[in-house]
């Protein structure tokens, strides 16, 4: 029997997140999915995955209201103010 895994999603098309995603895949008890292109980041795709949380770093596209009203979305965009 497969152990219980918590689903998470990383939404990023930035190549500098490749290494981050690879490291997330090895976290015990978690199943990570990466959605890298805007057409893949849909209400329907998230419904199939059923994530506990959706992490959205450096995303430059509009996030549909249907998504952020249904799932906990953590959006962050780093900016160096110096």
In this predicted model, what pLDDT tens digit does every residue of 37-50 receive, in sequence order? Answer: 999 999 999 999 99
CB hemisphere CA count around 53 (13 angstroms):
6
Percent of the chain with pLDDT over 70: 91
For 48, the token pair is 């199939």
Nearest to 63 by CA among 72, 16, 31, 48: 72
Tell me the pTM. Answer: 0.88
């Amino acid at each position: 029997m497969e152990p219980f895994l918590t689903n998470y999603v990383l939404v990023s098309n930035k190549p500098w997140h490749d290494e981050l995603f690879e490291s997330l895949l090895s976290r015990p008890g978690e199943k990570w999915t990466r959605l890298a292109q805007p057409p893949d980041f849909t209400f329907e795709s998230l419904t199939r995955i059923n994530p506990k949380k959706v992490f959205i770093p450096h995303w430059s596209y509009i996030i549909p209201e249907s998504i952020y009203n249904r799932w906990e979305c953590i959006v962050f965009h780093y900016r160096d103010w110096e």
